[in-house]
Amino acid sequence: MDRKVYDDGNSFDIKNMADIKNVVKKLGILSGGVLSVAFIVILVFRLLWVTGVEKHEFAYTFDRLDGSISEITNSGWIIRTPIRYKVYTVDCRPIQITISANQRVLNAKLVRFNPRDLKEFIEWHGAGAGSGINSPLNEILKCYAFDTVNGADCPFLEVLQDISPNQGMIKTNEGK
């Protein structure tokens, strides 16, 4: 009496419809919970273990257990244990640094960080001095570029060009 018979000969019990709805509801809640937990686990993994290194960046790791520093030669995703290692990146693109007064540029230079002498940079300024959004790297390079010897005694600084506000580009290295 509560059975409905379809044209193909199959029958369906209407009393079990409530049971099927409960099973579907429980499966929906279970799959939603599993997807939520998986999303949170992937998000925490990405935030803590994975660091992105762009092609224009120089990356190195600081080992918190023994204090060693090792260079990372490839770009892309770097996966390290966050408890033991800290991954730092330094932007190696040329930057223009200026000395200005009253909104007028008095002197400017085009400089770049040279990763060849990373160890000396870390000895002078610490492991994270050139890494991060609010990095003091521009100010560090500015101090050395405009010192009395124009950064010649600073191995991690490469002065590409002197820029005079009145004359335009001035070559810094004769013959190059």
Render pLDDT for 81-123 as a digit per residue (tens, 0 to 9): 999 999 999 999 999 888 888 877 788 889 999 998 888 999 9
Q: Is residue 4 part of a domain?
A: no
Instruction: Report the percentage of the chain scoring pLDDT > 70.
Output: 83
Identify the domain containing residue 29 by its residue range.
Answer: 13-49
Do 31 and 111 reside in the same domain of the chain? no
Instruction: Determine, yes or no, domain membership for 159.
Output: yes
| Spatial contact of 19 and 27, defined as CB atoms under 8 Å apart | no
Whole-model pTM: value is 0.70
| Residue 1 pLDDT | 47
Residue 11: predicted pLDDT:
57
User: Using H for helix, E for strand and C for coil, what is the string for 32-84?
Assistant: HHHHHHHHHHHHHHHHHHEEEECCCEEEEEEECCCCCEEEECCCEEEECCCCC
pLDDT at 166: 63
Q: Are residues 174 and 101 in the same domain?
A: yes
Structurally, how many domains does the chain consist of?
A: 2
Tokens standing for 86? Answer: 């800290």
The answer on 106 and 172 residing in a single domain is yes
The reported pLDDT for the residue numbered 48 is 93
Q: Is residue 117 part of a domain?
A: yes
In terms of domains, do 117 and 172 share one?
A: yes
**Is 103 among the domain residues?**
yes
For the chain, residues with pLDDT lower than 50 are 1, 175-176
Rounded to whole angstroms, the Cα distance separating 2 from 142 reads 86
170 is a domain residue: yes
In a domain, 3, yes or no: no
